[in-house]
Amino acid sequence: MDAELDAVAEEVSKLTASAVEAAAADLDLGGPIRLEPSKYPLSKDEIAAAAMYFAKPSLKPVEALFSKYKEDAASLTYLQNGMRARVRESKSEVLGSAILPVAVAAFEQYIASLFRSGLMKFPYALGELPPAHYELVSKYDSADLKKYLIDRRVRDVLREAPTDWERKIEKWTKIKVGDLGIGWDHILEAIQRRHALVHNGGVIDEEYLQKVPAWARENKRIGQSLACSVGYTLEALRKIRVFALIFGLKWARHFGKSDALAVYPDLVMAVYALEKDGDWSTALRLSNAAMELQDANDESFQLLRVNWWLCRKKLMKSDAEMELDIRAWEPENDRLWMARAALLENDADLAERIQLAGASGPGGRVSRRQLAEMPIFHDSIQRSDTVRRLLKGGGYNPKLHSTAARPPQTRRGRSRRSR
């Protein structure tokens, strides 16, 4: 039935277009009109209107395709709902179409904030500031007037095309946003898709095809609808976020020389999330940008460096210098010592340190389940029976020993249930 539904849904637009053409001929609208979907697809309102007023008689062949199910109420209900689902936007696509413009607007405000921070130090870096009228001069003091004029300059820049931002950024800071290795071409496409959604009903026009990267133009033509599926929307949000992080770190390095973790305190968790998703290349780009900026040798820095080392190791980019740095490193706590052992592939040392840290039992100071989930220990779990047994085996059941499943404890350590 699914295969039949797909075939019928493909025929509906063709039958509708034929009905519209026939109706137009009957109404003598000045000659035949050609609306074949292969040339220029019908808009949503044209399809809806045609189906309502003209196309019902022409859709009888479609009904005939389902006639064999006429005595099967369950099958007819399935076919009816399936047909509706195929000819209307899904809830997820409607939600994606609403989310994308908000995400792109937030990204543009982020770019504006970076421009503003740079112009506060170098007001003429993007050219002359707009003129200040007497009313403004009399209204604001010099500091407020400077902020006002910089805001106007940033607003003017954001009205330009993103490719113009790209040229201005490179000329000003020598940062090539297209060479950061993550997301810029996808952001360019997302900006143009947002424009089509907001101003053109989500339909592809000449501007979209002219301004998006080559890969985004493949198999697309004027008049097609741009869907914001779950996959597209999640990937667009992810690329916008990671690009913003990397670009922000580069910007901070150029202007402020702040530590990476001062720029973004949750940076280690951002790298860790990419590692858990298996996106090691992006995780390495982000940790590379962070290590260019980070100097302080505290625990947070050590966590960042561990993840940087791990990304390099996973992508076969480690070298003798990195190996020496790991061996010379003396961590501050048990978990970092475990990370050192894992990086050096010393599984015996790792197993010993897990036991010494109290992680060999469910009540230990370090959760075995948390350790087993960390990407840095995955290879050791695969290689070593001992490490695997300590972290994942030995009769240990995370469901039985999780905080949520454990009965509440009294001050003496016994559960109320046992008493």
pLDDT digits 0-9 by tens, 353-374: 988 876 545 444 567 888 999 9
* pTM for the structure as a whole: 0.73
Contacts of 337 (CB under 8 A, 6+ apart): 331, 353
CA angle 330, 286, 251 (to 5 degrees): 110
CA angle 338, 386, 346 (to 5 degrees): 40
Structure tokens at 181: 């290795």
Q: Tell me the C-alpha to C-alpha distance, in Å, between residue 381 and each of 175, 329, 399.
A: 41, 23, 20
Instruction: Note the pLDDT tens digit of each residue in 112-150.
Output: 999 999 999 999 999 888 887 777 777 778 888 888 899
Mean pLDDT of 337-365: 82
**For position 328, what pLDDT does the model report?**
95
DSSP symbol at 128: P
DSSP symbol at 283: H
8 A C-beta contact, residue 236 and residue 190:
yes
**For position 201, what pLDDT does the model report?**
84
pLDDT-derived band of residue 192, with 50, 70 and 90 as boundaries? very high
DSSP symbol at 257: -
Of the listed ranges 50-64, 188-202, 286-300, 304-318, the least confidently predicted one is 50-64
Mean pLDDT of 13-26: 63
pLDDT at 250 over 70: yes
**For position 37, what pLDDT does the model report?**
45
Mean pLDDT of 235-245: 94
Structure tokens at 150: 């910089």
CA angle 162, 183, 113 (to 5 degrees): 50
Angle between helices 280-291 and 299-314 (to 10 degrees): 140
Alpha-helical runs (H) found in 122-229: 134-139, 142-158, 162-173, 184-199, 206-211, 214-217
Amino acid of residue 304: L
